[in-house]
Amino acid sequence: AAGVIQSPRHLIKEKRETATLKCYPIPRHDTVYWYQQGPGQDPQFLISFYEKMQSDKGSIPDRFSAQQFSDYHSELNMSSLELGDSALYFCASEEAGGINYGYTFGSGTRLTVV
């Protein structure tokens, strides 16, 4: 079965650089969520999209932005990277109101800022 695809799997950036994380949801899933998980922490909600429009915003820094495209894939853009941005970034997708409620998570992108 198709899963949520995230790319890249690993990313190393220097401070003040920019990073772009991509997420390809499961076909027919119209809702995408982004989470940030620091070392030893539970996932923290960043932002979500429903039908290509932002639906909710969590603890996402102003340096970050995201969007969902016409093919429902989503990109998280992170600028002026800081050491504290080093984390595992999860994307999850869902079919809004579908019978299989709940998220399917991607494998995550591990971002290391040096």
The distance between the two most distant Cα atoms of the chain, rounded to a whole number of Å, is 43
Q: 5: exposed, middle or buried (C-beta count within 10 Å: 0-12, 13-18, 19+)?
A: middle
What does the DSSP 8-state code read for residue 9?
S
Residue 38 interacts with other proteins (CB under 8 A): yes or no: no
**CB of residue 19 to other proteins, shortest distance in Å:** 18
72 binds other proteins (CB under 8 A): no
Residue 36: CB minimum distance to other proteins, A: 12
- Site for other proteins contains 87 (CB under 8 A): no
Residue 74 interacts with other proteins (CB under 8 A): yes or no:
no
H/E element, 44: strand 44-50
Q: Does 101 bind other proteins (CB under 8 A)?
A: yes
Q: Is residue 8 within 8 Å of 109, Cβ to Cβ?
A: yes
Cβ count within 10 A of residue 95: 16
Give yes or no for residue 65 binding other proteins (CB under 8 A): no
Residues that bind other proteins in the complex, under the rule CB under 8 A: 31, 33, 35, 37, 41-43, 45, 48, 50, 55-56, 58, 88, 90, 92, 94, 96-97, 101-105, 107-108, 110
